[in-house]
Amino acid sequence: MIPTYQELMTPVLKKAANGEVKLSKVVDEVSSDLNLTEEELTEMLPSRKQTVIANRIGWAKTYLSKAGLIEVTKRGYFKITKLGEDALSSGQEINNKYLQQFDDFNAFQGQTSADTEVDTALPKEDEHVTPDEALRAAYQKINDSLSTDLLNRVRTVTPQFFENLLVELLVEMGYGGSEDGAAHALGKTGDNGVDGVINQDPLGVDQIYIQAKRYASGNNIGAGDIRDFFGALNLKKASKGIFITTSDFTPSAIQTAKDLGTRIVLINGKELSKLMLRYNVGCRDIETLHLKRVDEDFFDN
Tell me: the pLDDT tens digits for 132-175? 888 888 888 888 889 988 998 999 998 888 988 988 898 898 87
Name the band, by pLDDT with cuts 50, 70 and 90, for residue 123: very low
* Distance spanning both ends of the chain, measured CA to CA: 40
Given a cut of 50, whether residue 107 has pLDDT beyond it is yes
Please tell me the predicted confidence (pLDDT) of residue 100: 94
Say which range, 187-196, 224-233, 262-271, 291-300, has the weakest mean pLDDT.
187-196
Q: Which residues of 136-157 are buried (b: 16+ CB within 10 A; e: fewer)?
A: eeeeeeebeeebeebbeebbee
Residue 293 or residue 275, greater confidence: 275
Specify the pLDDT at position 247.
Answer: 96
Supply the pLDDT for residue 188: 53
pLDDT per position as a tens digit, 63-89: 999 999 999 998 899 999 999 999 999
Per-residue pLDDT at 128 exceeds 80: no
Architecture of domain 152-278 in CATH? 3-Layer(aba) Sandwich (3.40)
> Does the pLDDT value for residue 58 go beyond 60?
yes
- The percent of residues in the chain predicted with pLDDT above 70, rounded, is 86
**pLDDT computed for residue 26 by the predictor:** 97
Count other Cβ atoms within 10 Å, centred on residue 300.
8
Band of residue 116 on the pLDDT scale cut at 50, 70, 90: very low
> In the β-sheet with 207-213, what is the strand arrangement from edge to edge?
196-199, 207-213, 240-245, 263-267
Percentage with pLDDT > 90 across the chain? 52
Phi, psi of 241 (to 5 degrees): -150, 150
What pLDDT is attached to residue 93?
95
pTM, to two decimals: 0.65
Tens of pLDDT along 190-244?
545 567 788 766 666 677 889 999 999 899 999 999 999 999 998 888 888 999 9
Q: Which of 248, 223, 275 is nearest to 155 (CA)?
A: 248
Mapped onto helix, strand or coil, the DSSP state of residue 80 is: strand
Q: Is 125 exposed, middle or buried (0-12, 13-18, 19+ CB in 10 A)?
A: exposed
For all residues of the chain together, what is the average pLDDT? 85
Of 28-42, 44-58, 98-112, 235-249, the poorest mean pLDDT is in 98-112
Q: Among 1.10.287, 3.40.50, 1.10.10, 1.10.760, what is the CATH number of 9-111? A: 1.10.10
Banded model confidence at residue 114, pLDDT cuts 50, 70, 90: very low
Residue-range domain boundaries for the chain: 9-111, 152-278
